[in-house]
Amino acid sequence: MIIESQAIGTPFIPRHKFKANFLDYYADYVKKHRTYENRHLPCSFQKFKLFVGKDFIAPVEITEDFCKRFRKYLLDCLTGETPQNYFARFKWVINAATKDKYFIENPTEKVSAIANPSTHLKEIIEADEYIKLINTPCSNEQVKLAFIFCLYTGLRWVDIAPMQWTDIKEGKLVTRIIQRKTGHPVVLTLHTTAQKILEQQRAKAAVFKKSAHLIFHLPTQDGANKVLDIWASNAGLDKHITWSCARLSFSVLLQDQRIDHATVSLLLGHTTTRQVEKTYKRHRLKPQTEAINMLPEASENSSKVSVQSNTTAYVYTYTKR
């Protein structure tokens, strides 16, 4: 107590306040800063523990080379922006630890967070394929209904699996995402198809005596994806369908109908349009002929080239198509 009182107002931090195991510091940081929107933070901690592979690691062991190896580990086992997001959260923890005097110099200062672009694009389920899936029987009815619900709401697996009846109010979905400006949760209007699925689930609620608070009663994500693959094949879809395809398809089909990015972002639960513009978009090039034919066309009689003495000037008279 004397040491603590003497340290007030000084940059000195008593040694007894330090956590000898950096895993404890990381866990404490996650506990204090975790939010529903910031799921990358606890996930980065889980990956860090797997990388360390032991129950104790001293802060002195976390060097610049250690941080580079952790970044490589993330890039080797994850794709897309996920390794970048996880390592960025790891840097948050290291920055905080540096301010708390765990490190003299920040070991991640020169180690940037980088993404690992996937070479395989996720499949998009088109509008007519929505109908094919709806009309095709599935070996697991709960998986079918939950996936169709995601196709019409843009929910992720981590959103749909734990979703409870308390999340539905007056026919609308009350998300766990809190709007920063108002302090209120994001409320999303449900498509009529999604509402009908909820009505079916309410009628079946009496059957599921255990976990009756859950809306859908699903297997593991891996098991659900195996069911999806067989179901999609039976529906005549020559595509590799996983649960994440639902969210992408939801976004793309709305954009195909010229719904603006701000609205699509809100429906996906994002606070900015960045993810929609960068990730949840259609990766399909238009035919080259169609694209170049949008340029103005020169008439046969008016297209001439004149050559000047010092410079070459190309003179065209264009007529609009």
The answer to whether the predicted template modeling score (pTM) of the entire model surpasses 0.85 is no
Taking a C-beta distance cutoff of 8 angstroms, is the pair 142, 246 a contact?
no
> What contacts 138, CB < 8 A, 6 or more positions away?
144, 227, 231, 234
Binned at pLDDT 50, 70 and 90, residue 307 comes out as very low
Question: Which two structure tokens, joined as six digits, stand for 289?
Answer: 């002929």
How far are the Cα atoms of 159, 163, 194, 219, 245 from residue 134, in angstroms, in the given order? 21, 21, 12, 20, 15
pLDDT in tens, 143-177: 999 999 999 998 989 889 999 999 998 888 887 66
Strand stretches in the chain, DSSP E: 168-169, 172-178, 185-189, 297-298, 306-307, 312-313, 318-319
In terms of pLDDT, which residue wins out, 225 or 170?
A: 225
Taking a C-beta distance cutoff of 8 angstroms, is the pair 239, 123 a contact?
yes
Mean pLDDT, residues 63-88 taken together: 93
| Integer Cα distance of 39 and 34 in angstroms | 7
Binned at pLDDT 50, 70 and 90, residue 309 comes out as very low
Residue 267: pLDDT over 50: yes
Average pLDDT over the chain reads 82
CATH no. for 127-278: 1.10.443.10
Looking at the DSSP assignment, which residues form a beta bridge with residue 297? 319
> Side chain identity at 203, as an amino acid letter?
A
All structural domains of the chain with their residue ranges: 14-99, 127-278
In terms of pLDDT, which residue wins out, 222 or 174?
A: 222
Residue 96: pLDDT over 90: yes
Looking at the DSSP assignment, which residues form a beta bridge with residue 319? 297
